[in-house]
Chains A and B, each alone.
Chain A
Amino acid sequence: MKHFLTLTHSRISLTMRNKIFLFFTLLMPLGMFFLFAGVFGKGEPRMVAYLLGPVISLTVMGSFWGLSANLVMYREQGILRRFRLAPLTAADMLASSLAANFILTVPTVVIEVLLARWVYHVTQFGNLFAVVLLVSVATISFASLGLVVASVTNSMQETQVICQIVWFALLFFSGATFPLPTLPKIVQGFALFLPATYLVAGLQKAMLLGAKTWDPALEILVLAVWAVLAFFISTQLFRWEPEEKVTRNAKLWAVATVLPFLILGVWESKYGKLPAQSKSIYQSAFSSGKTAPEAKPADQAPR
């Protein structure tokens, strides 16, 4: 536990010295915030509240990219080997990077919420406790996904390619950029298998269905299960040495990461009401005679 704390502390100070990090964790999310709230949401409090869902989701999901790149870099440069000489475990290394990421990501979300409050006069944030829970489990689970990606790739290049693919899927097929109800039916069907969809929908339910709603409980639960599963898998697949290659078994393990959302997706497509619900939330946010935003610029991918 003590090792975990000192490592977390060290990682936080190292990350803060990295200017690229500041760009991706602070400047880019805030840029997105103003783009969504000011341009797409036209500064309308109700629309801004609706768009906070995607904005916060994008902020939180960015974790997976940063963490996977960092872990692969540490492995490739032989930094992990040096840590391995000390009495540390894989869990120490991984948990500290999750914790540091958490501590550095959450303030951006808080700033986004405060900006919505002060700049765009959003007064209703619904069930804020549910929002906090969603943000917390999602930050950890997407970061863990990044650690799994780092463990099933052999080089920085491979990692970047996989992150790119995952990122685009999460971005465009989930309601994180285009609202889910505006997507083609087939994409909406596919969206039900993506964690990002549940994060966006969960946040929107929590913020727009009133302060008492526990409607997003399922989303919180599944993201929490996913966080635990992905973290567990990342500890199993962790490699200290650059020359150790990914085994076939490891790849199978990694596939297990998608299980919770595979199951949930199947269940949702059969019995769920997520598409209908997001549609009604969407309509109420963009009602009062205003037309829904059409296609939005598609270029919010980091790096």
Chain B
Amino acid sequence: MSNPILQVENLTKRYGAVEAIRGVSFAVEEGEVFGLLGPNGAGKTSTVEILEGLRTLDGGRVSVCGLDPQRNPQELKREIGATLQATSLPDKMRVFEALKLFASFYERRRDPEELLKRFGLEEKRNAFYNQLSGGQKQRLALAMALVNDPRVLFFDEPTAGLDPQVRREIYGVIEELRREKKTIVLTTHYIEEAERLCDHVAIVDHGKVIAQGTPRELRQRSGDTTRIEVRLAKPGSVDKLKSLDGVTDCREVDSTFILHCQRPPQAIVALVKHLEAEGNELTSLEISTPSLEDVFIELTGRRLRD
């Protein structure tokens, strides 16, 4: 292993009686995209905001670019770029002005013109911030995160609240940064985002990392089997479904049965016969290959919801 550019060891944080982060550890290598995947309230934002030097930590150690965000916040800010949640710019600030203004705060900087072009904001250069659409605001936020040509980028829920088309547009932008070997830490609660964009993923829940690895490793970990998700007209039994021909495992989540199958065709035949014999019926059936969602379900018994 090379020397990680970012390290988190046993991080803890509490807000009053609430333990938001309960011993999180991970490391990010230079040039990779690292994803923190988890439901809302899992502690993702708190974690990245501690790394950005915006929040204090209660326990553990973090280091970003060899700097301690608590002790050297100003040095750290020169090395990082970020998009935040719940943030905004003054209504009457123009797009290009914003890029130029923020670029002026750094010694090392990128040409605002080039960023404008790259993020497809040329036409909007003189538009006021409050005239931009959600997607344009997010593209501007991404462009602004790059003004100082940072060594590490943090994108906190970069596509939350955007419609699918705009989301894909943002994916394109992040994928381009990934090709350039930028080091990126992103948080998300979208499976697709983590699988598509990240080299490494840490799945977080209730302030803890419950699994870590490449998306592929994580999927394999839950068995490389096909999933059949069924809803039944009448209540069914997990044990009976599990013993069907071709089914290796079964669990019930939110009254949906998820069957793991080595041989899907046999499993489906067996399932239909079984239901007929029981006088039960299928109300829906879906077949999918394993995803990080399954990993989450297996580890927590819950779905990772939007």
Contacts and interface: CB of A to CB of B under 8 A. Distances in A.
B105 A78 contact: no
Contact of B92 (A18, A81, A240): A18
Classify chain B: how many residues form its interface, as a range. 20 to 34
B90 A85 contact: no
Interface in B68-111: 74, 77-78, 80-82, 84, 86-90, 92-93, 97, 101-102, 104-106
A253 interface: no
B54 to A, nearest CB: 6
B54 A81 contact: yes
B133 to A, nearest CB: 18
Classify chain A: how many residues form its interface, as a range. 20 to 34
B90 A74 contact: yes
Contacts of B82: 85
B46 to A, nearest CB: 12
A14 B93 CA distance: 6
A82 B89 contact: yes
A132 B82 CA distance: 44
B32 interface: no
Give the dominant DSSP class at A's interface.
helix
Nearest to B55: A241
Contacts of A87: 74, 77-78, 105-106
Given A85-B77, A87-B78, A77 B88 contact: yes
A79 B88 contact: yes
B248 to A, nearest CB: 47
B205 interface: no
B52 A85 contact: yes
Interface in A1-37: 2-3, 6-7, 10, 13-14, 17-18
B284 to A, nearest CB: 41
A25 to B, nearest CB: 16
Nearest to A240: B54
A14 B92 contact: yes
Nearest to A17: B92
Interface string A25-59: 00000000000000000000000000000000000
B87 A79 contact: yes
A14 B90 contact: yes
Interface in A234-249: 240-242
Interface in B88-147: 88-90, 92-93, 97, 101-102, 104-106, 128, 144
A174 to B, nearest CB: 33
A86 interface: yes
Contacts of B81: 85
Nearest to B15: A243
A287 to B, nearest CB: 50
Nearest to A73: B90
Interface of A: 2-3, 6-7, 10, 13-14, 17-18, 74, 77-79, 81-82, 84-88, 240-242
13 contacts: A2-B104, A17-B92, A78-B86, A79-B87, A82-B88, A85-B54, A85-B77, A85-B80, A85-B81, A87-B77, A87-B105, A88-B105, A240-B54
* Nearest 9 A/B pairs, CB to CB: A78-B87, A17-B92, A86-B105, A87-B77, A6-B104, A77-B88, A82-B87, A78-B86, A87-B74
